Amino acid sequence: MKKLYSTIALFIAISLGATAQINVTYTVDITDYLVGTPLGTNGIRIGGNFADRGAANQNWTPSATENGLTNVAGGNVWSITITYPDTSANRVQAFKFVNDNWGTNEGAAALADCGVDDGSGGFNRTLIIPASGGTYTATWDVCGVLTVLSLNSFETTTNLNVFPNPSNGIANLSYTLNKAGNTSVEVINTLGERVSVENYGFQNAGNYNYTIGAENLAKGLYIVRLTNGSNFATRTIAIQ
């Protein structure tokens, strides 16, 4: 009987482990991009530190089979779904879309507001992996929006700004709320750890300005996440 119980417990543990996954779908519209650039033989790919976040996709290897996007309904939208373990929730994912292979990738200065310097004169996109999964929708070389099941992104309507960026001390935060609701701001490091949080309570629609104390933060990249009711917006800030 003891052996039977052990077998059942092992089966339950394996079953739970198998279902503890997060699916994030990445989509990109390349309509405008194709006006001046031909589509490569191998189509649209994606590069990122996926393996570092527990996914089966290779790190920064768009040529890998598993990193190829699928053309959606024969149009100019391409898509890929990447599966993460639940332990990767709230960690920062860096990535960029690639046409065929490196050298034809996005990452122009247009992504500076939603990404981080890649060290080669361009920018990587970033997102916080959502615990409930979601879909990241973007246009080539244009900042995208992540929509998750439990929260609605309002990236394009909040006018959320964090400056100066990079910062070596106090950072300023400004945002616009279109609807009233309880509001808070979190600062999250690249491990997905919340290093600070400010609860501003119930706020009416309008414009707001605050400061974030960054002088005690270690040098590196952080995500500033504004939550208002069931909505959120994020920005990346570098501390020097």
Give me the mean pLDDT over the 96-108 stretch: 94
Smallest CA-to-CA distance from 41 within 98, 87, 81 is with 98
Residue 32 CB partners (closer than 8 Å, separation 6+): 139, 140
Tell me the C-alpha distance between 119 and 147, whole Å: 28
Residue 147, strand partner residues: 135
Q: In what order do the strands lie in the sheet with 44-48?
A: 44-48, 92-99, 123-128, 115-117
Task: Assign domain 21-148 to its CATH architecture.
Answer: Sandwich (2.60)
Give me the mean pLDDT over the 160-183 stretch: 87
**Cβ burial, residue 205 (10 Å; 0-12/13-18/19+):** exposed
- pLDDT of 143 > 50? The answer is yes
- Percent of the chain's residues with pLDDT above 70: 86
pTM of the prediction? 0.66
- pLDDT of 191 > 60? The answer is yes
Beta strands 220-228 and 181-189 are antiparallel
**Cβ burial, residue 188 (10 Å; 0-12/13-18/19+):** buried
Q: How many CA atoms lie within 13 A of 9 on its CB side?
A: 6
Note whether 220 and 202 are within 8 A (CB). Answer: no
How far is Cα of residue 69 from the mean position of the Cα atoms in its chain? Answer: 17
Q: What are the boundaries of each domain within the chain?
A: 21-148, 161-239
Smallest CA-to-CA distance from 212 within 223, 203, 220, 227 is with 223
pLDDT band for 22, please (50, 70, 90 cuts).
very high
- pLDDT of 162 > 70? The answer is yes
- pLDDT of 236 > 90? The answer is no
Task: Assign domain 161-239 to its CATH architecture.
Answer: Sandwich (2.60)
pLDDT at 73: 75
- Percent of the chain's residues with pLDDT above 90: 41
Residue 27, strand partner residues: 79, 137
pLDDT one-digit tens code per residue, 46-57: 999 999 999 999
Smallest CA-to-CA distance from 131 within 146, 116, 113 is with 146
pLDDT band for 3, please (50, 70, 90 cuts).
very low
CA Rg value for the chain: 20
